[in-house]
Structure 1
Amino acid sequence: MKLKISSFKEPKHVGVVICVSWNNTEDVFSCGDDHKLLKWNLVNSECMTVMTFSDDFYPTGMHLFPKINMGGNKHQHDVILISTADGKFHIVNHNGRIEKTINAHQGACLAAQWSPDGAGLLTAGEDGFVKVWSRNGLLRSTIVQSDVPCYNAVWSPDSSAILYTKENFLVIKHLNSNNKIIKWKAHEGLILCVAWNANNNMIISGSEDGFSKIWDTFGQQISVSVKHDQPITSVSWSPAGDLFVIGSYNLLRLCSANGWSHCLDRPATGSIYNIAWSSDGTQLAAACANGHVMFAHIIEREYTWKNFSCTQTGRKVISIKDIITDQSDQLDYPDRVIQIALGFNHLVIATVKQCFIHKLSSWNTPVTFDLKEGTISMILLSERCLCVVERAGLSVYSYMGRLLASPRWGARPDTLGRAGLSLGPDSLAAIDQTDRKLIHVFDLPTGLIVRSSSDNTVTKLSHKMTVSDIALSQSGPISERQLALLDYNRDLYVITVKDPKAKFNKLGSQILDIVWSSETELLVGLRASSVVAWCCPRAATQTDWLALTTVSKEITDLGRNPSVVCVEDGVARICRGNGSMLHVSLAAFPEKLLKHVAANMWQAALQLCRTVEDETLWACLAVLAWQQHQLAVAEEAFALIHQYQQVCYIQHLRNTIPEKLSSGRLTVN
């Protein structure tokens, strides 16, 4: 993955460009020391002057009103917030006319930002004050009073707190005064820029000391960059939270959310003062000191699934290859590609206007359907359906392009991350954004009859702790659908969603990441120095059984914040903290056994265990046979793992009530 950079031959601004902001995925506004507000169109490669302000108008920041679904007049929301060096902020419409000017600070107004919900705005000034204002420019409260300049301040994703800089410290101040202020020393030099992502809830900071660092909301350091030669003048998260970019003097670096670098470019632009991502997360614009507005888009994104490899080679071009047959092809699209998903024998491509569904067996004849709007933040795949996350909401489609459901639970789709959303073959699970202890599980109509979204059955699960990650199992009937979750203590729990006596059963602690196998109920988790596979998560109700059916393998040099990408045929694909990939063969035989059991091939399962002669494999067979009421198989398996009390119990059942066993009327718990 890398950035393809472009800019106009001649700068359109005279002097330094201070700030840029996206209006939509094709239009960008920029403002600089030449007092001009320019509008750039990337489709037509045109630049027009929207407004020339007065000679004393020196901008320090700019933010467009957030694109959210709000009532009232739409044109009231088409406004731009601009802060200036004379201590004022201005509310400007898209035609450049100043609607309102407010004296906000003594000295320069160094930062101004609309709240994510659009209900208000904040400003930070050279006088050390941070203030919150109404949408119409009325002062609500002065949040911070300090004796040192505040160079930057941003809202929290839920608009409940403010992050601001104080020299080399970062401070989180909650608007609710009952909450404790969180303050920590973040850098050795003055902090110049910060960003807070709505999807991963992570904070990134850049400083005069040449470092950029990633933090969680408790002030714990997640990652730190290499030392750069010059101060970090700008940082920006991508909307999805999986990438971020930092800008410095003649430097632009694209990094993953874990902090490792994808690419480094050294354009001759001088310092990069501001960077803004487009809402689809595929393009960015940068304000440069030499008068240029620099544009870049992401290319060479790579995706793999089994023996297929897919690479985006251009804005509208995808290259796909079957590694086994060496068959390859180049797929051209009429519009710019913004999202790609590969898996479950399908390749799904979302462009600005349409979604293309390719079968991997015949990728030249795709199924297409029109999108509601051209801002897609995420595509999730499962065996029977796919989920498209747009700014307007979530939509679940079949692979034939039919709309199956549009689940709604009051969430803002643009702040939904992959950790808080999971798609199963017949279910969709989502963490509630207002109460992160609550999980919504929607039943999806994946049959021939398509019901309306109001008919979808919703199961609400409430956990005792705040939930950070969820994952639905990908195999089995809906009555046996399992949900795995990680809470903020990094404890792993699993629950059967449709169980009338559903209970969260704990599987392990200090788990960093989880993923289900796409074909079986094998659950793989990652610890700091090991990989763990739970072959029978349903055995969590029995502590002894859980230990017997768990496989663990020690791994060194995983680095900070590793993640599990996928699990195929018992092989876990792990992304290390430095971005390199590692394949760990962890549970190849247990997953083969699970496939035999799912196909009701008990003799094949027995033959596999007798051939391999592994105690863990026999334990898995014993637990699975017991759960499926295959008592003869369970008796042999329990005997070979020395669970003699269970063998005696099974013999007691077989000897005392043979008629019930033969008729199949026995219920074994």
Structure 2
Amino acid sequence: MKFKIYQTKEPKSREAIAAIGWCNNEEIYNCSDDHQLYKWTTTNRDCMQVAKLPDDFSPTDLHWLLPKGATATASGGTGGKGSDTLLICSADGRFIILNKSARVERNVAAHSSTIVSGRWSPDGAGLLTAGEDGIIKIWSRSGMLRSTVVQHEGQIRCARWAPNASAIAYCQGPFVAVKPLAANSKLTKWRAHDGLVLCIAWSNNTDTIASGGEDCRYKIWDTQGANIYTSVSDDYAITSLDFSPDGELLAVGGFNMLKLCHYSGWSHSINRFNQEVVGSLFNITWSSDGTQVTAGTSTGIIIFGHIIERELRNRNLKAVTSGRKTIILHDIVARTKDTLDFAERIIKWELGYGHLVVATTHQVHIFNENYINTPIIIDGRMEIKIIILGKKNFLLVDNTSIWIYTYTGRLHLNPRFPASQSQILHLNHRCISLGLDTLAVRDHSDQSVIHVFDLLPGATRQDDAYTIHSKSPLVEIAVCRFGNPDDQYLVFIDVNRDLFITCVQGGPDFIIHKIGTQVCTVMWSSDTNILVGLHDSCYSVWYCPGEACTDPTLIALTTFTFDTTEFGKNITLESFEGANVSLRSSGAIFTISVKTYCVILHKLFADNAWERALKLCRLVQNQVLWATLAAMASKRNQLDISKEAFSAALQIDKVNYLSYIKDLEPTSAEQMAENSIMNGRTQEAEIILLHNKKIPEAILFCLRMHRWSRALEIAQKNETDVDLVLKERKKYLFALGREEHDPHFLKLL
């Protein structure tokens, strides 16, 4: 992956260009000390003068207010791509706000010295200005002062909003600081570089901060100041950097240098302008679709760049972009190559499940690997931000809504939840997940809530989603991509990096189980219900997370952790296909394998081939395989197979319990209830007994589970065995040496 670079042949300005920004994906505005405001088009790089600024106004920064979302048009597309409000800051401490017609709406004297940064907030409700006087102020959209959030003696070089507008990051001398805007919040400040920090950027989705300084290095930090990555020293100072809107890429600029990096810091490619001196790059900015960058230079030249040679792989297919409108699709096995040309610029594209889905400026193209020359085209879909492919459907996210399509081009679902339209711009790959028959979306306003939609035809949850509530805010969710409709599981990671799992068919009362700690990210296999997760210096594989989650012993038996120090730092998950997991570290791809027999075992489960699964385990004689078979067989009431599997896995207590269950009358309420208890579904066991009028058995069950209040409630309601409940309660308290404290029992004493 690299930038294809273009630059203006003759600079319009002989002064340095520090004020430059995108109005939309096709237009760029810039101004410099010649007091002229120019508009450039990216297609042919033509330039036209838009307005003349006052002679005493020397621009230092420029930022367009991007629209919150485009309005739907009659054709189903979106309109209103451009911005209509422009903020320009000056060297004399003023800022002006211009409308689309370049008329000055506000002219505000904000600082006593040069304004180095002026930025609209992500929600568009206000703006910040940071000056060399050491002051950062927040203003309303109309230019009225709201507050002064930072006031120091030292000069501030750069300031940026947090993605949710709840904090401001700024650099001052060799330090980087994060100032939360909440009342009585504490400032976080750390020494970032050996020299002055010249530029910073805050990623939208990964919640990391990048900084570049006079020590010729750029660094990646978390919001608490912990260093994630430090680059090697360049020849010259790092003068500008910026994260792409989706947070996946980082552009870094210096003297005669533009570098394309992964968000974790390592470099994809580097462009050096050695033949012609362009000077230092200032104010690198990405277009809103994340495919193009622009930057002004110290010599008055404007740099344009778009990404080419972006590569995706899936099984036997490899797709590479060779230009703005061209993708080359390789079949590695058949050794064939197809060139796909598009009439419009490519924005987003994904490869998987035998399909290539490409979003251009106004269309979505669906290619089947078997019929590559006859794509299905969906018109009217604009500003596509996210594409996620599933086995049956694929998902699109634009500026207005979420869309679920089949691979035949039919709109399957347009899911909505409370305040969903206002949260679309905050969606990313970590907070939305498409499974086999399920869609899960994390709520942005309350990040401890997940909305779950059922994608099966005619399902009630298509229009009225279930909600899952976590105790802590969540950072990542993932729905499994394989299995039967009854075997769909959702995992999520909270801010404490704990990993939880629940069955998405268990609503509305979802039972949540904790299966891991200190987990950074997870990924489900595309072919099985096997889960892989990354920790700081190791990775874990859960071979049976859904069925084993109710029993900590089974989770321990079916989970393996391996060291990753040999791969290096900053590891990311690329793909999980079949038995192969692809990891990427510092640009290099490593492939690791999970146990192949477990992959085969999951496929046998899906086909209900229990005898073949049992023969496989007898052949291999592996404890992980036996434990996986035991968990699966227990859930599906295969008692004989479950008993043999637990015996081979040396779980003697469960073998004895299964023997007790088998001695009960087959298919009786008691046996079904005991089997539910075996699988951790205690509420289901109680319901089975009560539904079959097994009142004494239900009371005894509650006593076994120490659910004393519930046992008393059932006994009083049915006017039976109340004395038994009181007697057992008394024996329980006597054994513990405690006094009665439950008000329901105190009334009966």
TM-score, scaled relative to structure 1 = 0.95
Figure out how many residues of one structure are paired with residues of the other and give that number: 661
Residue number in structure 1 paired with 2:483: 476
8 A Cα contact 1:129 1:146, kept in partner? yes
Shift of the 412–32 alpha-carbon distance from structure 1 to 2, 3 Å rule, reads: farther
- The answer to whether residue 529 in structure 2 is matched with residue 554 in structure 1 is no
Deviation at 1:584, TM superposition (A): 0.8
Within-5 A mapping of 1:136-175: 136-175=142-181
In structure 2, what is the equivalent of residue 251 of structure 1? Answer: 257
Deviation (angstroms), 1:220: 1.5
What residue in structure 2 maps to residue 283 of structure 1? Answer: 292
Q: Does 1:78 align with 2:84?
A: yes
Distance of 1:504 and 1:664 partners within structure 2: 22
State the match for 2:494 in structure 1: 487
Q: Does 1:38 align with 2:38?
A: yes
Q: Look up the match of 1:563.
A: 572
Q: What's the secondary structure of 1:313's corresponding residue?
A: strand
From 223, 226, 235, give the equivalent of 2:229: 223
Mapping of residues 65-464 of structure 1, within 5 Å: 65-69=65-69, 78-267=84-273, 268-373=277-382, 375-409=383-417, 410=419, 411-444=422-455, 446-447=456-457, 456-464=463-471
Deviation readout 1:340-360 (Å, 9 max, x if unpaired): 101112110111110001111
Quick one: structure 1 residues 427 and 75, their matched pair in 2 at CA, closer, same or farther if it must change by over 3 Å? Answer: closer
Contact kept in structure 2, 1:573 and 1:584, CA below 8 Å: yes
Separation in structure 1 between the aligned mates of residue 502 and residue 492 of structure 2, nearest angstrom: 9
Cα distance per residue 1:81-136 (max 9 Å; x no partner): 00000110011223333222110111111111111111111111111111111111
| Deviation at residue 664 of structure 1 after TM alignment | 9.1
CA deviations over 1:11-68 (Å, ceiling 9, x no partner): 2223221121111111111111221111011224321011122332211100001221
CA distance 1:665–1:147, change in 2 (3 Å): closer
Structure 2 residue aligned with 1:21: 21
- 1:643 aligned partner: 651
Is the contact between residue 497 and residue 519 of structure 2 (CA under 8 Å) also seen in structure 1?
yes
Matched, 1:583 2:555: no
2:505 corresponds to which of 481, 495, 498: 498
Could you tell me which amino acid in structure 2 is paired with residue 630 of structure 1? Q
Letter of the 2:479 partner, please give it.
L
Shift of 1:666: 8.6
Q: Distance in 2 between matches of 1:545 and 1:37?
A: 67
Q: Which moved more, 1:382-391 or 1:398-407?
A: 398-407
Question: Residue type matched to 2:514 in 1?
Answer: K
Bigger mean CA deviation after superposition, 500-509 or 405-414: 405-414
Preserved contact between residue 528 and residue 558 of structure 1 (Cα < 8 Å): no
Query: 1:133 touches 1:140 (CA, 8 Å); kept in 2?
Result: yes
What is the root-mean-square deviation of aligned Cα atoms in Å? 2.2
Percent identity, aligned pairs only, is 39
More strand by share: 1
2 CA distance for matches of 1:69 and 1:358? 29
**3-state secondary structure, aligned to 2:385:** strand
- Counterpart CA distance in 2 for 1:360 and 1:346 is 6
* Aligned residue runs from structure 1 range 524-539, under 5 A: 524-538=532-546, 539=548
Cross-structure match for 2:474: 467
**Residue identity matched to 1:420:** C
**Alpha carbons 2:60, 2:116 under 8 Å: kept:** yes
Contact 2:433 2:477 (8 Å CA) reproduced: yes
SS, match of residue 419 in structure 1: coil
The unaligned stretches of length 5 or more in structure 1 are: none
Quote how far apart the aligned CAs of 1:668 are. 4.1
Output one character per residue of 1:448-499: Cα deviation in whole Å (capped at 9) or x when no partner.
x699xx9523121121222111111112344432111112222211111232
Alignment of 1:633 onto 2:641 = yes
Report Cα offsets for 1:157-182 as digits up to 9, x if no partner.
11222112221222222222222222
Tell me, what secondary structure is at the counterpart of 1:418?
coil
Q: CA deviation at 1:594?
A: 0.7
Mapped partners of 2:344, 2:118: distance in 1: 34
Inter-partner Cα distance in structure 1 for 2:370 and 2:498: 40
Q: 1:667 to 1:337 in 2, by over 3 A?
A: same
Which stretch has the larger CA shift, 208-217 or 92-101? 92-101
Q: CA deviation at 1:651?
A: 2.6
Higher mean C-alpha displacement, 250-259 vs 166-175: 166-175
Tell whether the 8 Å contact from 2:365 to 2:376 is kept in structure 1 after alignment.
Answer: yes
Residues of 1 paired with 2:358 and 2:132: CA distance? 47
The 1:256/1:60 distance shift into structure 2, 3 A limit, reads same
Which residue of 2 is the match for residue 47 of structure 1? 47
Letter in 1 for 2:389: L
Note closer, same or farther for the CA distance 1:368–1:53 as it changes in structure 2 (3 Å cut): same
Contact (CA 8 Å) 2:545, 2:555: kept in 1 or not? yes
Q: In the TM superposition, what is the alpha-carbon distance from 1:366 to its structure 2 partner?
A: 1.0
Aligned counterparts of 1:495 and 1:235: Cα–Cα separation in 2 = 40
Taking the aligned partners of 2:82 and 2:619, their CA distance within structure 1 comes to 72
TM-aligned CA deviation for residue 191 of structure 1: 1.3
**In structure 2, C-alpha distance between the alignment counterparts of 1:368 and 1:659, rounded to whole Å:** 53
- AA in 1 matched with 2:363: Q
Matches of 2:462 and 2:473, distance apart in 1: 29
